[in-house]
Structure 1
């Protein structure tokens, strides 16, 4: 069993761009977005689900041409996690690194090296404060 997925794209500034054409995802589980989410499209949250058809909100800095307008309510909600808002994944990554306790220093180093591969180890100290 598969599901029909529609991605509604938004840019990092919060401008609604429009939906991509629906496509079939190989897994039937709504919470699984790894089949189609990547660096190009960061899935923020599920907007609507009805049977096999699921619509997600995804953030992209590189939108494809020819998207049609769509009406989606992007108003913030007090019970919604910050990482599900536009710009949220990038903002929460840095905040989470700073919140890790001292005993996880090796994990913080590994994450900072992956994010800032060109910096010397000494130059990454700003991430630990």
Structure 2
């Protein structure tokens, strides 16, 4: 194959992948927003629960919400952060917290709580912050 053709084909493939990624992420975001809007119609007095952000430089951490009351979480994102909507009253949240760090012998070392079901109580008109407390090794829900 001629090298001049490669200089045309590879950038064209890269542009097509970028276009596909852009449109699929927009479609995904609109699906999440529609799901959250339907959830708010069903439960107009739902509360916002902000979650601990993923991140870290050397040691990375992640808080993953799998379900709220055995349903997909209705996610949101605003100026204050991101999280999910929750009904008022008692709720069961299935969540997992994991940390990953560079290892000495192995490439990386990951520790996880595994999928854990946590029961929380919420009140109308309040915003909450859900996080993993490393000192007590447990999940916490505080009023924001």
TM-score, normalized by the shorter chain, greater than 0.5:
no
Of Structure 1 and Structure 2, which has the larger fraction of its residues in strand?
2
TM-score, normalized by length of structure 1? 0.22
TM-score, normalized by length of structure 2? 0.21
